[in-house]
Structure 1
Amino acid sequence: MALDNDPLVREVAGRIKADLDRLTPTMTSMFVEVIPEFRHDDEVRRLMVASTESNLAAMLDMLTLAIGLDDFAVPPAAAEYARRFAQHDLSLEALLRAYRLGEHMFGQWVLTVLAELSPSTDVALVTAARIAALVNGYIDRVIEGLIDIYASERRRWDARTDAARAAQVRAVLDAEDLDLASAEQMLSASLRGWHQFVLLWTPPVTRDPGAVLRAGTALVAAATGKTPMTVEIDDHTRWVWIASVGRPALDAARLERDLSAHPNLSMAVGDPATGLDGFRQTFRDAQAARAVALATRGRGLTVYSEVALAALFADHLPEVEAWARRVLGGLMGGDETAARLRETVRAFLDTRGSYTDAAARLHVHKNTVHYRVRKVEELLGHPLTERRLDIEVALLACAQLGLPKSDRSGV
């Protein structure tokens, strides 16, 4: 929409435009003095000056040529300065504050020129209000565009930074010939102490996965008492690791309890280890624990030390299940009775064949354990003392891998 070509508005704008060589440095100096984020190096300062000049020029063109607001976009120099602001992790609030301060200073210039021209008070007030409304409309339009530009660049820059960090961590994990000093230089972190990796992930359908992963990082920090380092792998995956002089003490019980409040978040925890080799080992542990969680469609917390045996089998589930069926026979049923018998045998063997201790662990009567053990031996066709190691390994695999697989419910 075109604007009325008000002669007094044009005159005021023309006088300001003629004095821009003096006025622009005044405005940019004010920005630097009042807003700490504007104290840049020479290169970025030049871009800030160009951004200010381009916005002033656009506003004065609007006033002198009666150009409608719909015809304006964010000036290229101003857009690039907003992107640079985002890249330097400077606050959007500081950038927007500069626009409002600049708008106020421009209004002061208008009043100064009107005082020099000496129109009647009524005309001066109407003209000042008209210019203020037009300038405010322009600033609002530019700010709207700047918010989008800043947010887009912040996301792009964060992704680029995380991608570079992820590549560096992967290089340290994969390059076996990399020495300690080079690895530390690559990561800008010491690798001489203890390390513990935690892998975080969310399902693809999770709303705002970034917020969920950030919450997960906070849970790890609370459970270890340490500030973790993080790497964003993708929108739904984050690597977190704890580095410390002493052995990390992760409170798994607390972590599991806190994690229950986040149903769309899963974690896999590696064992603590030392040095560069330990950095790699704890990551591999966490990866293996995650593989078990995915293979069993498990959610929540998976700790490597609790599923280490299953981790060796996770890539061979069909073969493991077939072997377990040969060893356990009727104990591989998917019903509740078979599951209870498997649990009883594990407790009985774990307590070195003690009916009393097994009963105490299971919270049942000793005679119940006697009955179940006899039932198990009938199903196996031989005493538990035969192939005892095979039975124990098969039962552990069933427990950790969620076997029998065919009876597991879907996600």
Structure 2
Amino acid sequence: MTIDDDIARFAAAAAVEIDEKVAKILPTVRARSSADHLDDRETAWALTMTLRELLEVLQGQHAYDASALDEVISRRFDQGVTLLDLLHTYRIGVAAIWEEWAAMVDDEPADSKTLLAATPRIFEMVDRISQRANEIYRDLAVNSARRREQVRAALLDVLFGGDPAQGAPYWDAVGTLGIPRQGQFCVMEVTAANTTVVETDWEKIVAGSNAVEAAWFRLGPRSQVGLVSLNARRCDLTSLGQSVAERASATVGLSAPFRAVSDCRRARVQAATAAAATSTQRPVMRYGQDVLDVLMASSPEAANSLIDATIGSVLQLPADRALPLIETVRAWLENEQSVASTAVVMHCHRNTVNYRLRRFEALSGRSLSDNTWLAQVLLAVRSPGLTLSDAKGTRERE
């Protein structure tokens, strides 16, 4: 008879008494475990199933199968047992059962020899079971987090798009997300210039600001939309938006502040409109404050018509010639029509500023002293639909 035959015989005898042995060692497992919340029946079941699998392999009934205990491990995960507690229970349980087996064969030298020969195999399988538990817990944790994120995204969709008049579905979403019904809120839309911004955890970053009580963000394909609960005593919305925009290459649209969470859908539209008004030059826009820019963003067709009517002739120039003219006019308007201040901003001589202003007037056929037309020029050069990166036709049309 080979040692494998001896081990198989010993394992068969041990399997007959496995339920009794597990019941006997359970107090030891409980005493040595720091997880006092574990259910004894479930712990006993998990140990019994694991030991039966181990003994069946030792008996030669089948080869070790890494997936044989997947159901047991998954069930423990679903019960809220941590990986650390699970592995600790395995180690304590197998060590305790080994001590029981050692006591059982203490008076039988041949059986003692067999147990010693089986010991490396027993603990090797325990290590392999532990490795499998690590893999399953990792996969289950990822899937669980994905499911939680999907549920959370659905709740946020209700918040941003639902009607409070729906009653229970809307307010259940608010309650599940832990959002107070009254407070100081705004909705923020962060739009990415690249995929890195989308992957950034803006909820964590925004919630970490001293001006913010809490934040709830919804991830989109190129942007993140979030409801922000503000600290009324510390909040400066524009500063908050600028700090977010500066963290990466992103633009930020902010709604007007509001107090009732039931106004969230309207604020979501405001934030989207403000986000549409942002540009590289002005990466942060506030609905209700940056009135002209938001107005232009809210009506792209009207904005394009205005651009055509006011500076269309300038945009027919190649970009390297149109760009200095439009940027100079924009700077001049934003600096109280001061040639000196514009020269400083544009890093050029005052004569250059004057030349570009006259050239702009000549191309457009109108005088910058005409206040009615000047207001239209202001709207055109600050329109979010106007870009200066192309050659001719330097606009992005909707």
| TM-score of Structure 1 vs Structure 2, range by shorter chain | 0.7 to 0.9
**1:268 positional shift:** 5.1
Aligned residue in 1 for 2:68: 74
Give the letter for the 2:19 counterpart.
D
Measured after TM superposition, the shift of residue 300 of structure 1 is 12
The question of whether the paired residues in 2 share the 8 Å contact of 1:233 and 1:239 is answered with yes
**Structure number with higher helix proportion:** 1
Q: Which residue is equivalent to 1:151?
A: 138
1:119-169: per-residue Cα shift (whole Å, max 9, x none)? 4xxx83x53443222222322333333233222222222222222222222
Aligned residue for 1:60? 55
Give SS of 1:6's match.
helix
Residues 1:368 and 2:356 aligned together = no
> How far, CA to CA, are the matches of 1:24 and 1:346 in structure 2?
82
- Secondary structure of the residue aligned to 1:143 is helix
- Displacement of 1:335 after TM fit? 1.9
The one-letter code sitting in structure 1 at the alignment partner of 2:114 is T
Structure 2 counterparts to residues 77-226 of structure 1, below 5 A = 77-85=71-79, 88=80, 91-119=82-110, 124=112, 127-173=114-160, 174-178=162-166, 182=171, 184-199=174-189, 212-214=199-201, 216-224=202-210, 226=212
Distance 1:352 1:52, change over 3 A: same
Give the conservation status (yes or no) of the 8 Å contact 1:50–1:77.
Answer: no
Instruction: Measure, in 2, the Cα distance between the counterparts of 1:60 and 1:380.
Output: 91
> How many angstroms does 1:83 deviate by?
3.6
Q: Is the 8 A contact 1:172 1:178 kept in 2?
A: no
Q: Which residue of 1 aligns with 2:229?
A: 243
Identify if the C-alpha distance between structure 1 residues 382 and 202 changes in structure 2 by more than 3 Å, giving closer, same or farther: closer
- Counterpart amino acid of residue 14 in structure 2: I
1:49: which partner in 2? Answer: 44
2:308 counterpart (318, 321, 325):
325
Which residue pairs with 2:387 in the alignment? 403
Which residue of 1 is the match for residue 259 of structure 2? Answer: 274
Q: Deviations 1:288-323 (Å, cap 9, x if unpaired)?
A: 355567xx7x79965445876555555865764454
- The residue type equivalent to 1:78 in the other structure is V
Distance 2:35 2:166 in 1: 39
Instruction: Look up the match of 1:388.
Output: 374
In the aligned structure 2, how far is the partner of 1:145 from the partner of 1:231?
A: 35
TM-score, normalised with respect to structure 2: 0.77
1:306-317 aligned within 5 A: 309-310=292-293
8 Å CA contact 1:194, 1:274 repeated in 2? yes
Instruction: Supply the distance in 2 between the matched residues of 1:106 and 1:236 (Cα, whole angstroms).
Output: 56
| TM-score using structure 1 length | 0.75
Alignment-mate amino acid for residue 51 of structure 1: A
Q: In the superposition, relative to structure 1, how do residues 46 and 390 fare at CA in structure 2: closer, same or farther (>3 Å)? A: farther
- 1:174-201 Cα offsets, whole Å, 9 max, x none, are 2142569936435332131112334457
Cα 1:97–1:335 shift into 2, 3 Å: same
SS in 1 for 2:337: coil
Deviations, residues 353-386 of structure 1 (Å, cap 9, x unaligned): 3323433444544333222211111111110133
Count of aligned pairs: 383
Query: Which residue, out of 237, 254, 271, partners 1:286?
Result: 271
Structure 2 counterpart of 1:96, one-letter code: L
* 1:169/1:361 CA distance change after superposition, 3 Å: same
For structure 1, the residue ranges without an aligned partner over 5 or more in a row are: none
Deviation at 1:393, TM superposition (A): 0.7
Distance 1:269 1:81 in 2: 45
- TM-aligned CA deviation for residue 109 of structure 1: 2.7
SS at match of 1:329: helix
Q: Which amino acid aligns with 1:23?
A: K
Deviations along 1:239-264, one digit per CA (max 9) or x if unpaired, are 4433245163454444344x24xx6x
Give the Cα–Cα distance (whole angstroms) in 2 for the partners of residues 301 and 172 of structure 1. 26
Q: Is this contact kept in 2: 1:13–1:63, CA < 8 A?
A: yes
Does the CA-based 8 Å contact 1:199-1:290 persist in structure 2?
yes
Gaps of 5+ in 2: none
Structure-2 change in CA distance of 1:11 and 1:358 (3 Å): same
Sort the Cα spacing of 1:84 and 1:237 in 2 relative to 1 into closer, same or farther, 3 A.
farther
CA distance in 1, matches of 2:147, 2:334: 51
Query: Which whole-Å deviations, capped at 9, do the CAs of 1:54-74 have from their partners, x for residues lacking one?
Result: 1111112122345322x4533
Change (3 A) 1:100 1:201: farther
SS at match of 1:385: coil
